[in-house]
A and B are shown apart, each in its own frame.
Chain A
Amino acid sequence: MASPAVVRRLGKPAVFLAALLPALLLVADTLRDRLGANPIETITHRTGWWALTLLLVALAVTPLRRVTGWNGVARYRRMLGLFAFTYVVLHFLTYLVLDQFFAWSFIVEDVMDRPYITVGFTTFVLLIPLAVTSTRGWIRRLGPRWQRLHRLAYVAAAGGVFHFLWLVKADTREPVLFGVALVTLLALRLRRRPRRAAARAPAAPARSSKPVEAAS
């Protein structure tokens, strides 16, 4: 195992590169014409898959920290969340530009009438304030409200799961697995509730990007 100092120094760049890798591979596959017969569909599916995956990875940080006692992992949470948002934006832009090419009438119809697009679009909108308020400044300004606001990440992940589930024709295995992962993470999180409620008494002003951990 690498020493704590090395992890501290190289951890963030490593996570950054790892989270960027799917996008780099997508670019590489595009340049080499390796996206198959329906490239727009491939780009749409891959950006969407990674958006949901990284959102769940970001949500797994705190449970992982509690289960393993490895507190250092919390340092990566914001970066992972912002990468998840980045893939959501890429996914949305793929839809807007490559798939629809700004066919606004069809886009409006999609968002209004197609439940999986309604929930997907809502999820995208929901994540915008979370991305905007991810800075230290906003964490300080919002205080305890920051934590409540950022619980919306779970709602967004659920939105992502339903977006996926409602678009598949018959093979629901993958979206169901995402759903199971999300429910598991949520359960791990809620399990601590009673003890936390007792310890919460004076809600300490959030100083860091991980105010949920104030109780542990």
Chain B
Amino acid sequence: MPIRRPADIRSSEITDEALYRDRRSFIRQAAGIAAAGLVAPSLLAACDRGRTAASEEPAPDDALTPFEDVTTYNNFYEFGTGKGDPAKHAGSLRVRPWTVTVEGEVAKPGVYDVDELIRLFPPEERVYRLRCVEAWSMVIPWLGFPLENLLKRVEPTGQARFVEFTTLHDPEQMPGQKRRVLDWPYREGLRLDEAMHPLAILSVGLYGRMLLPQNGAPIRLVVPWKYGFKSIKSIVRIRLVNRQPVNTWQASAPNEYGFYANVNPAVDHPRWTQKRERRLGEFRHRPTLPFNGYADEVGRLYTGMDLRRNF
């Protein structure tokens, strides 16, 4: 009789000891920062609970991308279109007080303070690959909680089929919004079942620390099987809706960026190949994996769909 391994834990994805020990050092680092009053205690407590989600651990050859690279090489056009611009200019973002409005097709809409969200949903660590549509990738130890926990709390109605996310719109805090490079504010969307998938998280930190503004502080989406632009940053509104939302990049260039934007080596961007990627810090390209390597977990969401058309 064939032995079916549990779908959510692959042996290749169990963290090796070195990485695990490394985690302890994040926690120590976090402890130091918490002592300085920079990290909400709940964040730390959650982190110290240790591993909560083995399924999301990447394979051992997915070494963590250094903190320095994760925090200085960013696409966050609200602070400029150069990769180094967000780290240089995002200091103008005021991350507290910060509220997230959850509304639309829900029984219990509400306005949540980000610290309240952290209390309600203690963050856990998730090490995810991040694959940018520009064909580079990173591995990031996020701190966050499953988006489904928040969605379940607000009780989506029978009309809710999609979730629309919106970034802050404030050109004073986000100087990049003074130029209409994109149609501000930045918007993203997920189908409800995608949003309810346990791999989809709202992140509030990385490397055991609070998110820095350039990484989407104070709260951002992380959907690891989709191109990075889906993982919207600095969220102020989450609206459950009946109609498929138009995301900002789709509006900007509909033939290049779709609604689904699942990582897919079989569908090239019209202007460059998606068959491979450069992992930051590596010289040779690596092949890009379907759904960024999370096909076992999320493939079933797309059964019967033409992913070439729904790119």
Our verdict on whether A and B bind, yes or no, reads: yes
Q: Enumerate chain A interface residues (CB-CB to B < 8 A).
A: 36-38, 40-41, 98, 101, 103, 106, 109-110, 114-116, 166-167, 169-171, 173
The reply to whether B271 and A40 contact each other, CB–CB distance below 8 Å, is no
Chain B positions near chain A (C-beta within 8 angstroms): 65, 68-69, 72-73, 77, 81, 83-84, 134, 136, 179, 181-182, 252-253, 271-273, 275-276, 278, 280-281, 283-285
Is the Cβ of B77 less than 8 Å from the Cβ of A171?
yes
Please judge, given known A-B contacts A36-B83, A103-B285, A171-B181, whether A114 and B271 are in contact too, CB under 8 Å.
yes
Contact of A37 among B81, B179, B273, B280 (CB under 8 A): B280
Compute how far the CA of A103 lies from the CA of B73 in the bound complex, rounded to whole angstroms: 26
Give the docked Cα–Cα distance between A116 and B271 (Å). Answer: 7
Q: How far is the CB of A133 from chain B (nearest CB, A)?
A: 33
**Total A-B residue pairs with C-beta atoms closer than 8 Å?**
49
Identify which of A37, A106, A166, A173 contacts B271 (C-beta below 8 A): A166
Residues of A within 8 A of B272 (CB): 110, 114
Select which of B77, B134, B271 is within 8 A of A115 by beta carbon. Answer: B271
Contact in complex: B83, A37 (CB < 8 Å): yes
Q: Do the beta carbons of B284 and A101 come within 8 Å of each other?
A: yes
Q: Does B273 contact A110, Cβ atoms closer than 8 Å? A: yes
Q: Majority SS of interface residues in chain B?
A: loop
- B283: which A residues are within 8 A, CB to CB? 40, 98, 101
Contact assessment for A37 and B72 in the assembled complex, using a CB-CB cutoff below 8 Å: yes
Minimum Cβ distance to chain A for residue B167 (Å): 15
Most buried by B among A37, A106, A166: A37
A114 to B274 Cα, complex, angstroms: 12
Question: In the assembled complex, how far is the CB of residue A26 from the closest CB belonging to chain B, in whole angstroms?
Answer: 16
Select which of B81, B271, B276, B284 is within 8 A of A171 by beta carbon. B81
Would A167 and B271 be within 8 Å (CB), given that A36-B83, A37-B72 are in contact?
Answer: yes
Q: Taking each of A41, A110, A170, which has the highest tally of chain B beta carbons within 10 Å of its own beta carbon?
A: A170
**Which A residues touch B84, using CB under 8 A?**
36
Taking a contact as CB atoms closer than 8 A, the residue among A37, A40, A101, A171 that contacts B73 in the complex is: A37
Contact A40 B278 (CB under 8 A): yes
CB distance from A110 to the nearest CB of B (A): 7
